[in-house]
Chains A and B, each alone.
Chain A
């Protein structure tokens, strides 16, 4: 990577990037900047939902592939990161749903906490593994809202852009998610 490329990667101006994404001649290079800019943030969003690194890597790649093939459908009424977050959340939930169906059919052990504690890329304690298991048992919408609010520390206004729902509805979802997680912990004390 030469100095000019490194400079391009270092300065990320969303308006310029969006106009470059609209031009087929500069699209690929602009998209490279987008991947470079947002891959890590999106990865952590995804990882908190799918839990395992290999799965998160697959979903992150699928997210960018989907963004690339649908780049013409991106509208300026939301930020790039918000649009990518929406794709990432949908891809993650869909991935987990398919995976659960497969695991159920195979009659495998569903204890996520135990699987996490034996994973090389998880070095949390038992409580953190239990938190992931509690989150994993939430309905999709609550799971996604809890992840964005609690782990990513996003504002309700930004989350409402991701889901296209009101702040009030998100607060209700988050409140329910927190209550269910607390119940989960209380039941496992």
Chain B
């Protein structure tokens, strides 16, 4: 005898489903469910790479080399300007009037120099961010 015999005897006709669902519930469920699914991240990213991988690689290389050459140019100009300012400063003050630079004076001098360079090169923070983001 099944151990659930007593339960089935009470119910009369064994396992009977007393629950109902709204009309067409199961027929419509799949479409409703699929419309709720979020985009699959790996699906999106893989699709992008599979359709445009060569273009992205070329752009990345181009962007990377462009960015590097720009940074190199700015660094070279900065070094040149700092050395030039230092020589001019030494010539104006003479050999006996050279004070020992403190951290504050060096820092403010560097910041001033950077601002000067940025002004001469006619660039601002927006240009730098645009270069870094590749646009």
Residues of A participating in the B interface, judged by any CB pair closer than 8 Å: 24-25, 27-28, 31-32, 35-36, 39-40, 43-44, 47-48, 53, 57, 60-61, 64-65, 68-69, 72, 120-125, 127-129, 131, 150-151, 153, 174-175, 178, 181-182, 185
Contact = CB atoms under 8 A, between A and B. Distances in A.
Given A24-B47, A27-B40, A123-B18, A181 B33 contact: no
Contacts, number: 94
A27 B15 contact: no
Contacts of A127: 10-12
Contacts of B42: 24, 72
Query: Closest 9 CB pairs between A and B?
Result: A124-B18, A24-B43, A128-B18, A24-B46, A121-B20, A36-B30, A24-B42, A35-B30, A40-B26
Given A24-B42, A185-B10, A53 B30 contact: no
Contact of A121 (B11, B22, B37, B46): B22
Given A53-B22, A121-B19, A68 B4 contact: no
B135 interface: no
A48 to B, nearest CB: 8
A43 B43 CA distance: 28
B75 to A, nearest CB: 42
A131 B11 contact: yes
Which of A57, A120, A129 is the most central at the interface, judged by chain B CB atoms within 10 Å of its CB? A57
B7 A35 contact: no
Chain A: interface secondary structure?
helix
Interface of B: 3-4, 6-7, 10-12, 15-22, 25-26, 29-30, 33-34, 36-38, 40, 42-43, 46-47, 50
A25 B22 contact: no
Contacts of B16: 124, 128
B11 A28 contact: no
Contact of B29 (A39, A128, A178, A182): A39
B30 to A, nearest CB: 5
Which of A24, A25, A39, A131 is the most central at the interface, judged by chain B CB atoms within 10 Å of its CB? A24
